């Protein structure tokens, strides 16, 4: 398994063994992420952070991960503070930041941007979300959450709920889960179904998938409800968004008598009621914390070549 200097663009850049390696290393990183232990393994290393789209958890947990390991970060959290506003193109910006850093994290609203960035710099590039494409590091922390909370990934039944068309987290997650022995259900309004290409890829590797518009159809035998926000910013027509918003509303009453856990990449808008937050079902805040140890494991593996 060679992570050193590897680009992380799509979850398919990982094998199941790679994923399991990162999840094991994440567990070792947890005490450092919680400040119970110290590490300087990335001392002197710099992570370049190019966030052309808004982000809270992804950006801050990458920053925390780097700093917990003794490294540091440079970069921007919104494109209007950089020379792009003066007309500089993405290639030039990425090239320059590549010269200043040991690895680059990039988020952009255009699918394919991270892949493109990786072709113009020599340092490893990590995709922190490219439009409706993929979000592979979110997937690693999603898998880590399942493993930590439920003790396993194999044999789970995971229901992906909400905007399966534009949601990049569910695209990466579906591909990753397909490497394990899982059952998947897709719950969405008809307009926001999982893209055919992805369903086709999953069927080809023999994953059993149930597609439904009614969340009640998956409550009884799911282990995980992975709920997502309707991706308003990706709708070509705002009218279409207003017709679909509020399609699903998960509240404590709906979950009564079930054994499942509720995950969400966050931010939530109105798809999970606040009354779920402090129940045994709601695991999304814990999930958000796991972004730190998982990204520590990833950064250590990619940047630090000395074991």
For ligand NCD, give the closer residue by CB, 288 or 297: 288
Whether residue 171 lies in the annotated active site: no
Contact between 266 and ligand NCD per CB under 6 A: yes
Contact between 272 and ligand NCD per CB under 6 A: no
Beta pairing partners, 126: 8, 105
For ligand NCD, give the closer residue by CB, 31 or 267: 267
Whether residue 58 lies in the annotated active site: yes
Contact between 61 and ligand NCD per CB under 6 A: no
Whether residue 57 lies in the annotated active site: yes
For ligand NCD, give the closer residue by CB, 45 or 66: 66
Given the residues 58, 73, 137, 169, the one annotated as active site: 58
Contact between 232 and ligand NCD per CB under 6 A: no
Q: Using CB under 6 A, pick the residue from 6, 135, 165, 283 that binds ligand NCD.
A: 135
In whole angstroms, the minimum distance from the beta carbon of 163 to ligand NCD comes to 8
Q: Using CB under 6 A, pick the residue from 10, 101, 118, 169 that binds ligand NCD.
A: 169
Contact between 136 and ligand NCD per CB under 6 A: no
Q: What is the total count of residues that contact ligand NCD (CB under 6 A)?
A: 11
Given the residues 6, 45, 68, 107, the one annotated as active site: 107
Given the residues 6, 135, 229, 300, the one annotated as active site: 135
In whole angstroms, the minimum distance from the beta carbon of 106 to ligand NCD comes to 13
Return the active site residues.
57-58, 86, 107, 135
In the complex, the residues that contact ligand NCD under the rule CB under 6 A are: 57-58, 129, 135, 138, 168-169, 228-229, 265-266
């Amino acid at each position: 398994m060679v992570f050193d200097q590897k680009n992380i663009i799509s979850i398919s850049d990982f094998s199941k063994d790679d994923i399991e390696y990162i999840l094991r290393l994440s567990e070792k990183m947890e005490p450092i992420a919680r400040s119970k232990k110290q590490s300087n393994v990335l001392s002197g290393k710099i992570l370049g952070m190019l966030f052309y789209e808004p982000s809270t958890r992804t950006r801050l947990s990458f920053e925390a991960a780097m700093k917990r390991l003794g490294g540091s970060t440079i970069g921007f959290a919104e494109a209007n503070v950089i020379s792009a506003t003066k007309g500089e193109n993405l290639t030039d910006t990425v090239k320059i930041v590549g010269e200043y850093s040991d690895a680059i994290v990039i988020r952009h609203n255009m699918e394919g941007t991270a892949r493109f960035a990786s072709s113009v710099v020599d340092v490893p590039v990590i995709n922190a979300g490219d439009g409706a494409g993929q979000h592979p590091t979110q997937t690693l922390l999603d898998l880590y959450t399942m493993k930590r909370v439920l003790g396993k990934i194999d044999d789970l039944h995971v229901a992906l709920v909400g905007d399966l068309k534009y949601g990049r987290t569910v695209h990466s997650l579906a591909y990753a889960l397909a490497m394990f022995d899982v059952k998947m259900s897709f719950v969405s309004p008809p307009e926001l179904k999982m893209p055919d290409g992805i369903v086709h890829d999953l069927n080809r590797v023999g994953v059993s998938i149930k597609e439904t518009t009614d969340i009640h159809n998956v409550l009884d035998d799911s282990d995980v409800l992975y709920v997502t926000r309707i991706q308003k910013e990706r709708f070509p027509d705002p009218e279409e968004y207003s017709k679909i918003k509020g399609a699903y509303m998960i509240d404590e009453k709906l979950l009564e008598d079930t054994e499942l856990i509720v995950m969400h990449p966050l931010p939530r808008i109105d798809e999970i009621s606040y009354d779920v937050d402090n129940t045994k079902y709601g695991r999304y805040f814990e999930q958000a914390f796991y972004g730190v140890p998982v990204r520590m494991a990833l950064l250590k593996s990619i940047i630090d070549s000395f074991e």
